[in-house]
Amino acid sequence: MKAFDYVLERGVFAVLRLDVPDRALPLAEAIAAGGVRGIEFTFTTPQALTLLAPARTRLEGRALVGMGTVTDGQQAREAVAAGAAFLVTPTLSWEVVEVAQERGVPVMIGAFSPTEVLAAWRAGADLVKVFPARIGGPAYLRDLLAPLPDLRLVPSGGVDVESAPAYIRAGAVGVAVGGALVDRALVARGAWQEITARAQALVEAVARARTEGARAGVGGT
């Protein structure tokens, strides 16, 4: 099974953007315990590359670990060498797509306008991250998919447990969630059970939305 297909069975990518890396591993474990299968560390987190190997070991069989905020070819190569199972960019980057294809690693490319979204898809993105999704909301995603129904879109930026179902019903194959899961106050006090509960609630909300969408003939997986 392809990496993204495995993650999209649950439909959630968790974006772990931290000021310091010391709590990243227990945080990743807490999120995976809630059923999230895509864990994305980011280059904006100090020493992020050093987290990939131990996180993969801890989460083996439960979640895949990738690297996000990849902005150029050098970062892409470093992430793959460090063990990233997938790559995610904030913007359209031809270099990252090329490295991902060369190394056989799936890539989710960030884009926003219809032109960028289609360009990312045609360049070889396995998924297109619609970012920042909060600007257009679920209606914007639905508008994008009306003339381009084959795109596999993942909204990111402002997505939470309340808004995620609407994105799924609009046709998203999954959602990428950051602050709604990685709440700084919860992380600071090590409230792992509460973070697990949030992750589980998000996974369940996506599952319900997919069921509702299937009944109505809309939505994607």
* Positions marked active-site: 40, 129
> Are 185 and 21 in contact, with CB atoms under 8 Å apart?
no
Tokens linked to 185: 């106050």
Rounded-to-integer distance, Cα 129 and Cα 198, Å: 22
Closest CA to 31 of 211, 176, 220: 176
**SS3 category, 83:** coil
Rounded-to-integer distance, Cα 58 and Cα 52, Å: 10
**SS3 category, 112:** coil
> Tell me, what amino acid is at 11?
G
Cis-peptide into 21, omega within 30 deg: no
> Are 178 and 209 in contact, with CB atoms under 8 Å apart?
no
Tokens linked to 120: 């990312």
Residue with tokens 């319900």: 208
How much of the chain is in helix, strand and coil states, percent to nearest 5? Answer: 50, 15, 40
